[in-house]
Structure 1
């Protein structure tokens, strides 16, 4: 199983400003200290291997979109944020070998705009003969997707899409079979509700997608059900939008969690890896890197059993399970 991140920001897409790009270039030049490079590949190797990630690369700015790929069968995607446009084009390229069906399964955490805004730009939906199945815990998912393509909001109406599009409402506590994946879901605390998903392949490897969920550090005894849902997962993709200070003060009850709570939940669940996700859009790459370092340090300090590997997701990141 491969987990590919196509969009990792929360709330709205962001792009680096001209001054941010110039600042990165200046930092890279200072670090290079007059080095010369024989070709572009050598310069890229320097950027990837010798510069801090926040300087030589970056976390990206697309909103939530994650692919769960077992290498064959239908494509399985969590959420439809702005990262979906690039994913859609990439899946069409992968179809060219003729070994996969023209079928896409979506699993929606919830219906807020940053999680569905990519669908009007999802090219496979315009392809005759394509099949798109949209799974959600919300019975009003179809209403939300059709509404964002009404004339007042978007020039292409939903009924112009050529793919065969089907909506399926799922129930927490039940399991569903999508090709080689078994999928379960659980309700999470968020405005208009949110749903977390657990994907398990035929070899028993599992990934949990849990975003836009508020878990409070002073009420962790109430989170036993979520820890059970995450139990033994090979990877937990968790909403870590805020620092602990923000999540318990001015942004309490905003529907998001902190990096600290995510570590505590994963430790309780004995999960193997945690991927920080749904990054705050006002955070710079340096801010996210700082939170990542703080999260790893916290995990070491509170660890009682096996280590929890902490990852920090970014657009284009791929994890092999």
Structure 2
């Protein structure tokens, strides 16, 4: 199984500006002061081994879209944020003009999670099958509404693909292609649902747009059970802990530190921070990752939890 991250931001897409690029270049040059590089390869090796991720990379700016590759002939993807556009390009290239079967799992239908679908290339290819799975009654309405006039020039009814909406029942296992999929209700405005994907003894949790209040022990234990022994937990860590419990309490999102605590309770193997705050630049996101890793080290018992931060283009092989 492979996981590909096509979009990892929350709320609204963002992009690097000219100021951001100049700042990264200036910091890299300062850190390289006194060094000389005779070839591109030498400079590349230095940047890869000695500079921070936030200087040599970007966490990206697309809103949520995460692919799970099962090794079969179908596609599986969580949410249709703006990352659905490059995901669609990938599908079309891989299919080489052959129609695809795409299984979509919707956490909820807020705009940042559906906005990429009108730009999802396979939806315009005759013979393509798209099954959109979700627990909300309004999933189909939301998809149709965002493409209705005057919001978009191509009405949903004009899409060439065969599109089916599939209603899922929370906490009930569903067999979808190669996966067993279990949805779970989460605390968020209008409700959202996390998904547990199981296949060949491996399990992946996709849990975004969820606020966790650890003082509610029953709620915390419920999520720990949902995350139990997962190989990967993709987790809404939009805020730092101080933000999550003060000015942004009840905003429907969680923090890097709470992600560590829940995954430790669940004895999950790998926490991946996700749904990044659009106002946070790459350096800030890297600092939140370092903070989470340090907290995991300080609170570790007999179980080691790997902690990563998602970025557009990240691939994880299970």
Bin for the TM-score computed over the shorter chain: over 0.9
Indicate the residue corresponding to 1:217 in structure 2: 214
Q: C-alpha separation between the residues in 1 aligned to 2:214 and 2:221?
A: 13
Q: CA separation in 2, counterparts of 1:199 and 1:35?
A: 49
Residues 1:90 and 2:87 are matched in the alignment: no
Match of 2:242 among 240, 245, 249: 245
1-side partners of 2:256 and 2:216: how far apart? 15
Match of 2:275 among 278, 282, 285: 278
Q: Which residue of 2 aligns with 1:108?
A: 106
SS in 1 for 2:61: coil
Give the equivalent residue in structure 1 for 2:37. 36
Does structure 1 residue 71 correspond to structure 2 residue 68? no
Paired residue secondary structure (1:223) = helix
- Distance in 2, matches of 1:45 and 1:85, equals 32
- Name the residue aligned to 1:311: 308
TM-score normalised to structure 2 length: 0.96
CA distance 1:161–1:268, shift in 2 (3 Å): same
* SS class of match (1:217): coil
Alpha-carbon separation, structure 2, partners of 1:319 and 1:190: 27
Aligned partner of 1:228 in structure 2 is: 225
Q: Is 1:142 the equivalent of 2:143?
A: no
Residue equivalent to 1:166: 164
Q: Distance in 2 between matches of 1:242 and 1:216?
A: 14
Give, in whole Å, the separation in 1 of the partners of 2:97 and 2:36.
42
Contact 1:48–1:57 (CA<8 Å) still a contact in 2? Answer: no
Q: Check the 8 A contact 2:214/2:220 in 1, yes or no.
A: no
Alpha-carbon displacement from aligned partner over 1:174-208 (angstroms, at most 9, x marks no partner):
1111222111110101011000001111x210100
Gaps of 5+ in 1: none
TM value normalised by structure 1: 0.95
Take 1:229 and 1:318, find their aligned partners in 2: how far apart are those partners?
A: 23
Q: Name the CA distance, whole Å, in 2 between partners of 1:159 and 1:222.
A: 41
* Aligned-partner SS, 1:300: helix
Q: Distance in 2 between matches of 1:220 and 1:92?
A: 46
Correspondence for 1:256: 253
CA distance in 2: counterparts of 1:48 and 1:59, whole angstroms:
16
Q: Do residues 198 (structure 1) and 196 (structure 2) align?
A: yes
Give the SS at the match of 1:55. helix
Partner of 2:125: 127
8 Å CA contact 1:207, 1:233 repeated in 2: yes
Instruction: Give the length in aligned residue pairs.
Output: 317
Shift of 1:49: 2.6
TM-superposed deviation, 1:43: 4.0
Distance in 2 of aligned mates of 1:80 and 1:162: 18
CA distance in 2, matches of 1:64, 1:13: 9
Change in Cα spacing, 1:300 to 1:102, as seen in structure 2 (3 Å) is: same
